[in-house]
């Protein structure tokens, strides 16, 4: 303890000392909690940026909130990370939610790094397009499917995955 604090609290009991110190630093802790939670809830990964540093920063913010006495549950922390990802990770998010993964944040980070490599390489996706074609036969309308394989590029927006 600083000598100035020692002099201030020389004739004060332990409980009163703790109450006084809490009053001094409580506002600072509240401000720190606000800034950390703001950064956490507003975090967004920009398209094309590396996922590793982004998720590590979010993990650090989650842990910092826990140290301040406001721990986030594991599921909420994972939801925040998934919501911060750009649209190129939509397929990963859908698979993660459908398979009901209950991963720790560091395991999620490893899964996202693998997905990032797949996205940067470009994935082959089966695109299905349905069209109605009128035929001369007795069948009224026939639905014809045109199936093709496309290589996704980073600038493709809202591809249909099957």
**What token pair was written down for 24?**
């001094």
CA angle 101, 118, 88 (to 5 degrees): 75
Q: Kindly report, residue by residue over 37-46, the tens digit of the pLDDT.
A: 999 999 999 9
Q: Kindly report, residue by residue over 16-68, the tens digit of the pLDDT.
A: 878 877 777 777 888 999 999 999 999 999 999 999 999 999 999 999 999 99
Does this model's pTM top 0.75? My answer is: no
Residues near 8 by beta carbon (within 8 Å), at least 6 away in sequence: 20
User: What residue ranges do the domains of the chain occupy?
Assistant: 3-121, 123-162
pLDDT at res. 108: 96
What are the backbone dihedrals phi and psi of residue 150, each rounded to the nearest 5 degrees, phi first? -125, 150
CA distance 27 to 35: 12
Instruction: Express as a percent the part of the chain with pLDDT over 70.
Output: 73
Cα–chain center distance at 85: 6
């Amino acid at each position: 303890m600083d000598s100035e604090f020692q002099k201030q609290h020389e004739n004060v009991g332990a409980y009163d000392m703790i109450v006084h110190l809490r009053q001094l630093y409580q506002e600072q802790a509240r401000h720190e909690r606000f800034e950390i939670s703001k950064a956490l809830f507003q975090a967004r990964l920009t398209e094309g940026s590396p996922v590793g540093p982004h998720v590590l920063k979010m993990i650090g913010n989650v842990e910092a909130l826990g140290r301040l006495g406001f721990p986030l549950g594991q599921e909420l922390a994972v939801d925040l990370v998934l919501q911060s990802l750009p649209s190129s990770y939509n397929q990963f998010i859908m698979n993660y939610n459908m398979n009901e993964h209950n991963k720790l944040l560091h395991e999620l980070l490893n899964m996202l790094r693998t997905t990032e490599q797949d996205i940067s390489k470009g994935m082959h996706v089966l695109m299905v397009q349905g069209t109605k074609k009128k035929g001369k036969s007795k069948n009224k309308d026939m639905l014809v499917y045109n199936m093709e394989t496309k290589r996704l590029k980073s600038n493709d927006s809202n591809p249909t995955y099957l």
